[in-house]
Chains A and B, each alone.
Chain A
Amino acid sequence: MRRVATLLASLTILTAFHPMVARAHHSAAMYDFTRTEWLVGTVKEIRVMNPHTSLVLVVSNDRGSREIRFEGHGANNFYRVGWRANLVKVGDRIRIRFNPRKEGGEGGFVTGFVTPQGKQIMLDVPSRPADVQAPSDQAP
Chain B
Amino acid sequence: MEPLYASAIIRFWLIGACALGCIAPQTRAGEAHPDFSGVWVAYGAGPLPLLGTPPNDSKLPFTAEGRRKVQALRAIIGNGEDRPGNYCLGSGMPESMLFSGATGQYPMEIVQRPDLILILYESHMEVRHLYLGHKIIAEADRLPARNGYSAAHWDGGTLVVETTALKEQEDEAYPHSEQAQILERYQLAADDKGEKVLTDTWTLTDPVFYTEPVRGVKRWVLDTNGILLPYDCTEQFWVDHLDSLRKAKVEKKR
- Contact pick for B237, options A19, A47, A126, CB 8 Å: A19
Contact A51 B85 (CB under 8 A): yes
Contact B49 A125 (CB under 8 A): no
Query: Cβ of B46 < 8 Å from any Cβ of A?
Result: yes
Given the known A-B contacts A20-B240, A76-B231, are A135 and B216 also in contact in the complex, defined by CB atoms under 8 Å?
yes
Query: Cβ of A23 < 8 Å from any Cβ of B?
Result: yes
Contact A129 B50 (CB under 8 A): yes
Query: Cβ of B21 < 8 Å from any Cβ of A?
Result: no
What 1/0 mask marks residues of chain A from 64 to 100 whose CB sits below 8 Å from any chain B CB?
0000000000011101100000000000000000000
- Contact pick for B233, options A20, A51, A128, A138, CB 8 Å: A51
Contact B44 A136 (CB under 8 A): yes
The stretch among B2-10, B66-74, B103-111, B135-143 that forms the contact with chain A is B103-111
Contact A50 B232 (CB under 8 A): yes
* Shortest beta-carbon contacts, A-B, top 8: A29-B80, A130-B47, A136-B46, A138-B44, A19-B240, A140-B191, A135-B216, A26-B86
Given the known A-B contacts A29-B82, A49-B232, A140-B191, are A129 and B88 also in contact in the complex, defined by CB atoms under 8 Å?
no
Residues of B within 8 A of A (CB): 43-44, 46-51, 58-60, 78-82, 85-88, 98, 102-106, 122-123, 189-192, 195, 197, 199, 216-219, 229, 231-233, 235-237, 240-241, 243-244
Contact B49 A129 (CB under 8 A): yes
Contact A50 B60 (CB under 8 A): no
Once bound together, how far apart are the Cα atoms of A126 and B47, in whole Å? 8
Contact A133 B236 (CB under 8 A): no
Min Cβ gap A42→B in Å is 23
Q: A residues within 8 A CB of B58?
A: 133
Min Cβ gap B107→A in Å is 10
Other contacts beyond A76-B123, A80-B229: 5, CB < 8 A: A75-B232, A76-B229, A125-B105, A128-B81, A136-B46
**Which one of A20, A47, A136 has the greatest number of beta carbons of chain B within 10 Å?**
A136
Interface size classification for chain A: 20 to 34
Contact B243 A19 (CB under 8 A): yes
Q: A residues within 8 A CB of B105?
A: 76-77, 80, 125
Once bound together, how far apart are the Cα atoms of A7 and B113, in whole Å? 55
Once bound together, how far apart are the Cα atoms of A13 and B165, in whole Å? 38
Q: B residues within 8 A CB of A79?
A: 229
Q: A residues within 8 A CB of B79?
A: 29
Given the known A-B contacts A137-B217, A140-B192, are A19 and B48 also in contact in the complex, defined by CB atoms under 8 Å?
no
Query: Cβ of A132 < 8 Å from any Cβ of B?
Result: yes
Contact A138 B219 (CB under 8 A): yes
Contact B241 A20 (CB under 8 A): yes
Once bound together, how far apart are the Cα atoms of A126 and B46, in whole Å? 10
Min Cβ gap B39→A in Å is 12
Query: Cβ of A11 < 8 Å from any Cβ of B?
Result: no
Once bound together, how far apart are the Cα atoms of A26 and B87, in whole Å? 7
- Contact pick for A134, options B44, B85, B88, B216, CB 8 Å: B216
- Contact pick for B241, options A19, A24, A125, CB 8 Å: A19
Q: B residues within 8 A CB of A75?
A: 232
- Contact pick for A51, options B86, B103, B241, CB 8 Å: B86
Contact B80 A27 (CB under 8 A): yes
Can you list 5 residue pairs at the A/B interface with Cβ under 8 Å? A76-B106, A80-B104, A126-B47, A133-B59, A140-B199
